[in-house]
Amino acid sequence: MKARSMPISRGLALAALLVLSPAVASAPTLALDGPEAMAMSTKPLPIFKNPRQALREGLDSYRSGNTKNSVDALQYAADGGEPLARWKLGRMYADGDGVARDDMKAYHYFSQIVADYDEDDVAGRETAIISSAFVALGVYNLNGIASSGVKPNPERAIQLFHYAATNFGDANAQYNLGRLYLDGRPEVGRDTRQAARWLSLAAEKGNAPAQALLGQMLFNGSDGVLRQRARGLMWLTLARDAATGSGDQWIVELYEKAISAASDPDRQMALGYLEAHLQKRD
């Protein structure tokens, strides 16, 4: 990493936070006969004009459903230093999207992005990519990767989340920090005020899990967090509306539990808060 420092741990080189997997294989070589084959055997196949062209072709192939061509092109672009290619490959391998899921490959690509990050030389369009890579590495460090050299390391995860949350204002990083404080992880201890602070920042950016947890905290009240049933119901409503798929069923359940316990005045006031919030966002 070319950045000078990380705000949580002064002078800490980001390389100390990373466990890089082996480099990806080089591009295939051109098959020839005779002496020319020996001379050419170590040269990469010049499929693309440059990494940027490979990136465009890789993304086009991905959108058209041609995964094989997409991965080949994106790997060429990633080897050429294209952050978006590295991020896309990282997400594909992390999600098993068109390729077999491989968390170590995903970790490798996200690590490349962070290791090459220079806080003094970041193009605006790359900010979201870099921030997302910090968060992805934070999650991997928090949980570890089974049967690999990446072991759970919550302290490093917190540093990565905190850097992305404070330097990029990343909603996912803010949510993860809020969750850690709310759960009372030993590395940070239970601190509901800190949890509410981080969750509120993420909720304002539209992060549904953060909206749900913040809503629950406010609706019920929690150690040092004033009970605000109507405002809590507003956040739970926003989270419920954004919930998608079975993975968000817990959000729906939190909302249904709160709405069934809310009084008519709570609901009316929540509706007023909701309308004001939506007007402010527009």
The 10s digit of each residue's pLDDT in 56-105 is 999 999 999 999 999 999 999 999 999 999 999 999 999 999 999 999 99
254 domain-assigned: no
Tokens linked to 266: 């709570």
Q: How many domains does the chain have?
A: 1
How confident is the model at residue 194, as a pLDDT? Answer: 96
> Nearest 5°: phi and psi at 225?
-110, 115
21 domain-assigned: yes
94 domain-assigned: yes
178 domain-assigned: no
177 domain-assigned: no
6 domain-assigned: yes
Q: How many CB atoms within 10 Å of residue 104?
A: 17
Nearest to 128 by CA among 10, 49, 192, 136: 136
The sign of the CA dihedral 1, 177, 167, 136 is: positive
Tokens linked to 107: 């970790």
Cα–Cα distance for residue pair 13/162, rounded to 1 Å: 15
Q: Residues 251-259: contacts with CB within 8 Å, 24+ apart?
A: 251/208, 251/209, 251/212, 254/212, 254/215, 254/216, 255/212, 255/215, 258/215, 258/216, 258/219, 258/232, 258/233, 259/233
Residue 51 belongs to what domain range? 1-29+44-138
76 domain-assigned: yes
**CA separation, residue 158 to residues 22, 58, 136, 180 (Å):** 25, 33, 12, 9
To the nearest 10 degrees (0 to 180), the angle between helices 208-220 and 171-183 is: 40
Q: How far is CA 86 from the centre of its chain?
A: 14
How confident is the model at residue 1, as a pLDDT? Answer: 56
Mean pLDDT per 10-residue segment, the chain (282 residues): 40 33 29 37 62 96 95 96 97 97 98 92 82 98 96 97 97 98 94 97 97 97 92 98 93 97 97 94 77
Q: Is 0.75 topped by the overall pTM? A: yes
How confident is the model at residue 38, as a pLDDT? Answer: 37
CB 237 within 8 A of CB 254: no
Cα–Cα distance for residue pair 269/263, rounded to 1 Å: 10
22 domain-assigned: yes
R_g of the chain, CA atoms, integer Å? 23
pLDDT digits (tens, 9 = 90+) for 231-251: 999 999 999 999 988 899 999
